[in-house]
Structure 1
Amino acid sequence: MAKPKTKSKSKGSTSPGFNKAVQLVLHLTAVLQFSYGVYIFHNIQMPNTVPFAGKFKFLTFICAIIQALYYIVSLVNDFVGTNELAPKRPPAIRQFKDWLMATLAFPVALNVGVTFWSLYAIDRELVFPKALDPVFPSWLNHILHTNIVVFIVLELFTSYRAYPKRSKGLTGLTVFMGAYLVWIHIVKHYSGVWVYPVLEVLQLPQRIVFFVTVIGFTLALYLVGEFLNNTVWAKEVKLAKRKSN
């Protein structure tokens, strides 16, 4: 007598409950650490820095706020929104979550992490002078410059998001980065000091090249995030396209 056939799970498959638990733990852990990191950084008295604009003149601080906001939105979405791979009518909280991840959270996090550690390896005095060591704990430095990259990459592999139209996503990111460059020039105008020591050692032509490179690099990171999302979630992307047609 032939045995009835049974459906077997693929080797790489996991249950929806397990995926939901992973997402929930990741989002809760990220909310706690980045919110706490923002709080501690905001209250640190940094020596030899211009008080104008407080910590809001640092892209690191703004990036940490973006990460905290993103994971708070993600946590809310876990409970009142949906993590369905391709919902026909995604709620507003899910749409905002997907847009925030694609347009700001991923590219800005990688920008801050890669740029900081690259300059740190060349000469730490350009971005994180030794004078900060007594007041700026190393664990906070890693939350703000290392964990932002680790967690956003984990997020990309554990949660699918629908990327906006490339033109809209790149426009949003360009506006953000352009506004920040204008902002640090305003800080320089009123304080007489550049936010980052590296800008002090660059001549005007070099600063222009530096700014153009940073913006170009950040826009490239957006495309990297889109490529990784479409590669990791290839089946889901195809499903979403079929549903939208």
Structure 2
Amino acid sequence: MALVPCQVLRVAILLSYCSILCNYKAIEMPSHQTYGGSWKFLTFIDLVIQAVFFGICVLTDLSSLLTRGSGNQEQERQLKKLTSLRDWMLAVLAFPVGVHTTVLPFILIEMRTSHHQYPSRSSGLAAICTFSVGYILWYGRRERET
């Protein structure tokens, strides 16, 4: 099976995010020396989430290419788990957290070019609320200490 444009796009997006992360960490900024460093910025956290998400997408694509037609039940089961993780991460973290930044076009392209099984509304809301409350509590703690 040949690579399709969406798979090539995922690799390009992943490489660009990794490049941005490497260059961002190499820059000496005063905010990197304070509590939480880069992790206090939601934009940085989102960049990491997007890099991990597109890394999982690329891994899913590679696994799908390698296991296609093999008939190995264990490999198919592992691919199904990886696909479920990819879909969950898109619905719970990558899309909700990425809506406020310039990564939105990439997420929308991903949503249009691939079929996804979304988690139930209650579990998805519980997960994004947990992430949001955790970030707010952590950020509030940082604000009280400075």
State TM-score, norm by structure 2.
0.84
Give a deviation string over 1:66-103, Cα, whole Å, max 9, x none: 00000000001001148xxxxx9661110100000011
RMSD: 2.3
Give a deviation string over 1:93-143, Cα, whole Å, max 9, x none: 101000000111011100x32xxxxxxxxxxxxxxxxxxxxxxxxxxxxxx
Alignment of structure 1 residues 42-61 onto 2, 5 Å: 42-47=25-30, 51-61=34-44
Is the contact between residue 103 and residue 172 of structure 1 (CA under 8 Å) also seen in structure 2?
A: yes
| Shift in Å, 1:189 | 2.2
Is the contact between residue 109 and residue 149 of structure 1 (CA under 8 Å) also seen in structure 2?
A: yes
1:27 aligned to 2:16? no
Hey, what does 2:96 align to over in structure 1? 107
Change (3 A) 1:165 1:48: closer
Hey, what does 1:181 align to over in structure 2? 136
1:67 aligned to 2:50? yes
Change (3 A) 1:92 1:49: closer
Residue 38 of structure 1: which of 21, 35, 38 is its match?
21
What letter corresponds to residue 113 of structure 2 in structure 1? T
Give a deviation string over 1:129-178, Cα, whole Å, max 9, x none: xxxxxxxxxxxxxxxxx2x1111111111111001101001110010011
Query: CA separation in 1, counterparts of 2:21 and 2:84?
Result: 25
Q: SS of the residue aligned with 1:68?
A: helix
Kindly tell me the number of residue pairs found equivalent between the two proteins. 136
Structure 2: stretches of 5+ with no match in the other structure? 66-75
Query: CA separation in 2, counterparts of 1:101 and 1:62?
Result: 15
State TM-score, norm by structure 1.
0.51
Is the contact between residue 32 and residue 38 of structure 2 (CA under 8 Å) also seen in structure 1?
A: no
Structure 1: stretches of 5+ with no match in the other structure? 1-15, 83-87, 114-145, 193-245
Is the contact between residue 13 and residue 54 of structure 2 (CA under 8 Å) also seen in structure 1?
A: yes
Is the contact between residue 31 and residue 37 of structure 2 (CA under 8 Å) also seen in structure 1?
A: no
Higher helix fraction (1 or 2): 2
Query: CA separation in 1, counterparts of 2:119 and 2:85?
Result: 10
1:93 aligned to 2:82? yes
Query: CA separation in 2, counterparts of 1:23 and 1:49?
Result: 35
